[in-house]
Amino acid sequence: DIQMTQSPSTLSASVGDRVTITCRASQSFSSWLAWYQQKPGKAPKLLIYKASTLESGVPSRFSGSGSGGDFTLTISSLQPDDFATYFCHQYNTYPWTFGQGTKVEIK
Amino acid sequence: QVQLQESGPGLVKPSETLSLTCTVSGGSISSYYWTWIRQPPGKGLEYIGYIYYSGSTNYNPSLKSRVTISVDTSKNQFSLKLSSVTAADTAVYYCARVSGTVTFNGMGVWGQGTTVTVSS
Question: Is A53 an interface residue toward B (CB < 8 Å)?
Answer: yes
Partner-chain contact A43 B104, CB within 8 Å: no
> In the structure, how many helices (H) and strands (E) does chain A have?
0, 10
Question: Is A76 an interface residue toward B (CB < 8 Å)?
Answer: no
Q: What pLDDT, in 10s, does the model give residues A1-32? A: 999 999 999 999 999 999 999 999 999 998 99
* CB-CB neighbors (< 8 A) of A91 in chain B: 104, 106
Is the omega angle on the peptide bond into residue A44 within 30 degrees of 0, that is, cis?
A: no
Q: What pLDDT, in 10s, does the model give residues A26-85? A: 999 989 999 999 999 999 999 999 999 999 999 999 999 999 899 999 999 999 999 999
Element (H, E) at A37: strand A33-38
Question: Is B10 an interface residue toward A (CB < 8 Å)?
Answer: no
Residues 6+ apart with CB under 8 A from A69: A24, A25, A26, A27, A28, A29
Question: Is B115 an interface residue toward A (CB < 8 Å)?
Answer: no
B101 and B33 Cβ atoms separated by less than 8 Å: yes
Q: What three-state secondary structure class fits B9?
A: coil
Distance from CA of A6 to the nearest CA of B (A): 11
**Exposed, middle or buried by CB within 10 Å (0-12, 13-18, 19+), for A106?**
exposed
Q: What is the pLDDT along chain B (120 residues), one digit of tens a residue?
A: 999 999 999 999 999 999 999 999 999 999 899 999 999 999 999 999 999 999 999 999 999 999 999 999 999 999 999 999 999 999 999 999 999 878 899 999 999 999 999 999
B13 and B117 Cβ atoms separated by less than 8 Å: no
CA atoms of B49 and B65, how far apart (whole Å): 12
pLDDT at A100: 97
Q: Determine the average pLDDT of the residues in A87-99.
A: 96
DSSP β-bridge partners for residue A36: A46, A87
CA atoms of A22 and B62, how far apart (whole Å): 26
Taking alpha carbons only, the member of B98, A38, A58 closest to residue A48 is A58
